[in-house]
Amino acid sequence: MIAQLTGKVVRVATPVVVLDVNGVGYRVSVPLSVIERLPADGSPITLVTHMIVREDDLSLYGFWDESDQQVFELLITVSGVGPKAALALLSALGGDGLARVVSSEDVKSITKTPGIGPKLAQRLVLELKDKLAGLGFSRRVEQLAATHTVKVRSANDQLLDDVSSALLNLGYNKNDALRAAELALNEALQTDSSPAFATVLRAGLNRLTR
């Protein structure tokens, strides 16, 4: 069982990162919070991991800390919530945010995540309300500026493509993803001539989950 990995990120294709650990590349699916905080200088990172083994597949899921890992592991115990949906929920709401909306029975906020309908959202509330509270889930929300720089084709065009592609990979449809990416990029360019990928991605995701 692989419980932790330390290495350098050599490739990002949201929501997947490839982590080089002593020359071996591990494909790890991660929530948006990990993408946002990747070091710009390529220095090594450590992810706590959850491994799922199936007859024809072995998949790794990585997190900055054990709190998000615990939330992920709780989410996938709920019938109808697979690893992809659990990552989407963590990306959209974060561990703290998810605990908050579940404890307040805010089904509407939960259903804004792709693939989560009203019945499944209600099941999440019913099954996880006490369990999330039992984790004592209260963490300081870290606002760390991501410095994921994008090389040029036209830098802004490439950034738009990357953000819309990331939103597609998180489960949103093509038109909604592109529109949200365009609006987020235009807004970011008003204050920063070279906005970071993660900044625009987060803004686009916020637009889609309002």
Mean pLDDT of 108-122: 92
At 51, give phi and psi (nearest 5°). -110, 130
Q: Which domains does the chain have, with CATH numbers?
A: 4-63 (2.40.50.140), 66-134 (1.10.150.20), 155-208 (1.10.8)
| Residue whose C-alpha is closest to residue 69's, from 34, 107, 117 | 34
Measured in Å, how far apart are the chain's first and last C-alpha atoms? 38
pLDDT value for 136: 62
Task: Please calculate the CA angle 132-67-163 and round it to the nearest 5 degrees.
Answer: 105
Tokens of 184: 């987020």
The answer to whether the beta carbons of residues 114 and 172 sit under 8 Å apart is yes
The answer for residues whose C-beta is within 8 angstroms of residue 24's C-beta and 6 or more apart is: none
> What percentage of residues in the chain have a pLDDT greater than 90?
44
Residue carrying the six token digits 């080089």: 20
E strand or H helix that includes residue 18: strand 16-21
pLDDT value for 41: 87
Q: What is the pLDDT of residues 144-176, one digit of tens each?
A: 223 333 333 457 778 888 888 888 888 888 888
186: confidence class by pLDDT, cuts 50, 70, 90: confident
80: confidence class by pLDDT, cuts 50, 70, 90: very high
Q: Using CA atoms, how far apart are residues 191 and 188, in angstroms rounded to an integer?
A: 6
Tokens of 38: 């990747």
pLDDT value for 84: 93
Residues linked to residue 12 through DSSP beta bridges, in sequence order: 17
pLDDT value for 154: 58
Residue 140 has pLDDT above 50, yes or no: no
**CA neighbours closer than 13 Å in the CB half-sphere of residue 58:** 5
The answer to whether the beta carbons of residues 210 and 184 sit under 8 Å apart is no
pLDDT value for 47: 96
Please tell me whether the overall predicted TM-score, pTM, comes out greater than 0.75 for this model. Answer: no
Question: Residue 42 in 3-state DSSP?
Answer: coil
Angle (deg, nearest 10), helices 155-169 and 197-208: 50
Residues linked to residue 27 through DSSP beta bridges, in sequence order: 18
Residue 58 has pLDDT above 70, yes or no: yes
Mean pLDDT of 103-125: 92
Residue 71 has pLDDT above 90, yes or no: yes
